[in-house]
Amino acid sequence: MYSDTNKKLTRPVTLSKLRKMKQEQEKFTCLTSYDATFTGAMNAASIETILIGDSLGMVVQGQDSTLPVSIEDMCYHIAAVKRGNDNAFLLADMPFMSYSKPEQALDNAAKLMQAGAHMVKLEGGSWLKDTIGLLTERGIPVCAHLGLTPQAVHKLGGYKVQGKDEATAALLLKESLELEAAGTDILLYECIPSELGKTLTEAVNIPTIGIGAGPHTDGQVLVMHDMLGVTQGRKPRFVKNFLTDGRSIQEAFEAFSDEVKSGTFPAPEHGF
């Protein structure tokens, strides 16, 4: 919750809180972080959820994709974020090929949770149902990532918008409902048409997070390096640089939060 005087989070954000925010149509924010210092600044800016993403492979390690990131890499950065965190809800990516079988997923998810994560995130559709069922049965909250799934970038043929035609949009809806029924707690959609993001968010009872999925998802996430304007190379359409107009880094985080909650970000130019 927020205090009336300074709008700072005064209690830890929980999954129950995020569900309530969806019910009350209150937007929530998410940024990636990989260390204690930036996490502290996000806490001060009242960012509700923090993703320790396998994007660290690219923005921290200098890899050309997320595929080389290991469970050990993830545990190291989760522990660092946890030490800097007060009240944000922490999601953590399960890296490439760390959850190809349900029992393997359970073992690796346990490592991430023991390192400090509050929830694990997996990329994939209906084939994850048994895995999600096993994890949730064992008390591990799950975020499922649909749409553009960076771990499958070579199979997808590059970083392309997903769900643009009727058949693939229908498949995303079908998989969303199946994963919710399997026990998924949050759905994250990446690079899908804005209207599809609205349809999917309205179709499920669990919170949704979008990145390049339009303004209608319950939460919005950006990679920290992208929203601070320090990522090298081509910038995705859904990215906005918030480190402008003489802002400090914390003020950039606060501006992101303000724009998400007011509905001004993402704007039409950030969608598909």
Binding-site positions for 3-methyl-2-oxobutanoate: 54-55, 93, 121
Write b or e for each residue in 146-175: b if 16 or more Cβ atoms lie within 10 A of its Cβ, otherwise e. bbbbbbeeeeeeeeebbbeeeeebebbbeb
Q: Is residue 239 part of a domain?
A: yes
Range of the domain at 238: 15-270
Per-residue pLDDT reduced to its tens digit, 164-178? 999 999 999 999 999
Q: Is residue 8 part of a domain?
A: no
Q: Is residue 40 part of a domain?
A: yes
Q: Is residue 4 part of a domain?
A: no
What is this structure's pTM?
0.94
Q: Is residue 253 part of a domain?
A: yes
Q: Is residue 220 part of a domain?
A: yes
Q: Is residue 219 part of a domain?
A: yes
Q: Is residue 1 part of a domain?
A: no
Counted domains in the chain? 1
CATH number (domain holding residue 39)? 3.20.20.60
Which H, E and C letters describe 197-235, residue by residue? Answer: HHHHHHHCCCCEEEECCCCCCCEEEECHHHHCCCCCCCC
Catalytic residues: 190
Per-residue pLDDT reduced to its tens digit, 213-246? 999 999 999 999 999 999 988 889 999 999 999 9
Binding-site positions: 54-55, 93, 121, 123
